[in-house]
């Protein structure tokens, strides 16, 4: 009596190749049979996690965790879209990445523990509000004051910025000299919530800085600081690059570049808080304010922005 042929399904190993896998064949055995150099330090016995794969599409076509995978996951917490290739079978098409491709990957994802972190650390796409801030005319202040005073004032300013950003649901990603870059909405379910937080933070920073100038800087240093803030929103790449800087977090993409250039444009437009039209339209109760059309490097069309701050050296 003739046996029925086994069902087969396509697996797309992103960055490697596509292959056919039979039902009853693990992802690891199929990739090895196809000549893909798939790491499996323990020999495919679920005693390590070097064969782990990141599922991009088709997670519903994977078998549930078996006893061995469940036992290993109890010791090495992993997000649900990370699976052990040696213990996982497929029932339909799947798109996935091999996470560990060489010895250096093993050091990053096993020795340093990054692979046991959440999806945000491994890399994902997410819509966020992007926030860039730069302190205006800091160099003259630095040149006119003692090093201790310069560092002291920087600490006071960045404490103010950090507290305000945190209160409004933001996270500082990077600082450089007299500026910073933050994102809003990492923990939010939809991007308008992040935009609201970013705009609120920007407005609050301007108000708190005015108070700091009036009560402290003018009195003790005969100086006033102003800042330029640019806010935009869009889909970006979020991940953990694992080099020990600022909690390893990085956020990349064209929307980040646009937000940075909006901050730079605050000087040209003579306004301390510039919000892109894309972000402005997400506000639940947007204020009436001035608008402008500007040219941004790398953006072919004219870019519409809203002037939500005040002129430099003047009042709103």
Q: Tell me the CATH number at 162.
A: 3.30.70.1230
Quick one: 190 and 298 in the same domain?
A: yes
State the average pLDDT over residues 106-127: 58
Quick one: 200 and 75 in the same domain?
A: no
- pLDDT for res 41: 83
Domain boundary among 96, 118, 140: 118
Residue 316, pLDDT > 50, answer no
Kindly report the length of the chain: 316
Quick one: 128 and 264 in the same domain?
A: yes
Residue 112, pLDDT > 70, answer no
3-state helix, strand, coil in the chain (%, to 5): 35, 30, 35
Orientation angle between helical segments 147-167 and 191-212, nearest 10 degrees: 140
- The DSSP secondary-structure symbol of 91 reads S
Quick one: 113 and 131 in the same domain?
A: no
At residue 118 the predicted structure's pLDDT band, cuts being 50, 70 and 90, is very low
Quick one: 170 and 264 in the same domain?
A: yes
In a domain, 314, yes or no: no
CA distances from 304 to 50, 271, 285 (A): 48, 14, 19
- pLDDT for res 121: 52
On average, the pLDDT of the chain sits at 87
Helices and strands counted in the chain (H then E): 10, 13
Q: Give the count of beta carbons closer than 10 Å to the beta carbon of residue 151.
A: 12
Q: Give the count of beta carbons closer than 10 Å to the beta carbon of residue 311.
A: 13
In a domain, 16, yes or no: yes
Quick one: 144 and 279 in the same domain?
A: yes
Quick one: 160 and 243 in the same domain?
A: yes
- pLDDT for res 109: 61
- The residue with greater pLDDT, 264 or 243, is 264
pTM above 0.85, yes or no: no
Domain boundary among 118, 143, 175: 118
Residue 117, pLDDT > 50, answer no
Domain residues for the domain of 266 are 124-307
In a domain, 205, yes or no: yes
Quick one: 69 and 209 in the same domain?
A: no
Rounded Cα distance between 198 and 279, Å, is 10
State the average pLDDT over residues 131-146: 92
- pLDDT for res 74: 87
Q: Give the count of beta carbons closer than 10 Å to the beta carbon of residue 90.
A: 24
Quick one: 111 and 134 in the same domain?
A: no
* Residue 127 bridge partners (DSSP): 235
Rounded Cα distance between 158 and 149, Å, is 14
Buried/exposed code over 157-180 (b: 16+ C-beta within 10 A; e: otherwise): bbebbbebbeebbbbbbebeebbb
Quick one: 218 and 276 in the same domain?
A: yes
In a domain, 3, yes or no: no
The total domain count for the chain is 2
At residue 114 the predicted structure's pLDDT band, cuts being 50, 70 and 90, is very low
At residue 122 the predicted structure's pLDDT band, cuts being 50, 70 and 90, is low
In a domain, 315, yes or no: no
Tokens describing residue 36? 């893909």
Rounded Cα distance between 101 and 89, Å, is 21
CB 263 within 8 A of CB 230: yes
In a domain, 260, yes or no: yes
Rounded Cα distance between 263 and 131, Å, is 8
Residue 159, pLDDT > 60, answer yes
Domain boundary among 81, 103, 118: 118
Quick one: 207 and 59 in the same domain?
A: no
State the average pLDDT over residues 41-46: 88
Q: What are residue 205's phi and psi, to 5 degrees? A: -60, -45
Quick one: 160 and 276 in the same domain?
A: yes
At residue 166 the predicted structure's pLDDT band, cuts being 50, 70 and 90, is very high
């Amino acid at each position: 009596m003739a046996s029925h042929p086994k069902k087969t399904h396509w697996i797309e190993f992103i960055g490697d190749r596509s292959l056919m896998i039979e039902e009853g064949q693990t992802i690891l055995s199929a990739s090895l049979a196809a000549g893909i150099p798939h790491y499996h330090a323990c020999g495919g016995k679920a005693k390590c996690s070097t064969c782990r794969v990141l599922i991009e599409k088709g997670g519903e076509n994977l078998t549930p965790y078996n006893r061995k995978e469940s036992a290993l996951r109890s010791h090495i917490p992993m997000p649900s879209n990370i699976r052990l290739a040696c213990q996982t079978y497929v029932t339909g098409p799947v798109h996935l990445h091999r996470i560990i491709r060489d010895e250096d990957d093993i050091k990053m994802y096993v020795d340093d523990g990054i692979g046991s972190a959440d999806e945000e650390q491994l890399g994902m796409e997410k819509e966020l509000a992007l926030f860039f801030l730069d302190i205006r005319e800091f160099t003259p202040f630095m040149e006119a004051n003692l090093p201790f005073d310069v560092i002291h004032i920087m600490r006071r300013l960045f404490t103010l910025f950090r507290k305000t950003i945190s209160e409004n649901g933001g996270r500082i990603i990077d600082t450089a000299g007299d500026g910073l870059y933050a994102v809003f909405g990492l923990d939010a379910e939809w991007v308008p919530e992040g935009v609201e937080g970013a705009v609120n933070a920007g407005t609050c920073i301007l108000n708190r800085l005015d108070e700091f100038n009036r009560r402290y800087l003018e009195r003790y240093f005969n100086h006033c600081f102003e800042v330029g803030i640019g806010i935009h929103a869009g889909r970006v790449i979020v991940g953990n690059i694992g080099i020990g800087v600022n909690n390893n977090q990085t956020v990349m993409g064209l929307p980040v570049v646009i937000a940075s250039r909006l901050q730079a444009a605050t000087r040209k437009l003579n306004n301390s808080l510039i919000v892109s039209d894309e972000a402005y339209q997400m506000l639940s109760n947007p204020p009436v304010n001035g608008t402008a059309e500007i040219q941004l490097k790398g953006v072919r069309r004219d870019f519409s922005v809203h002037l939500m701050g005040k002129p430099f050296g003047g009042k709103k």
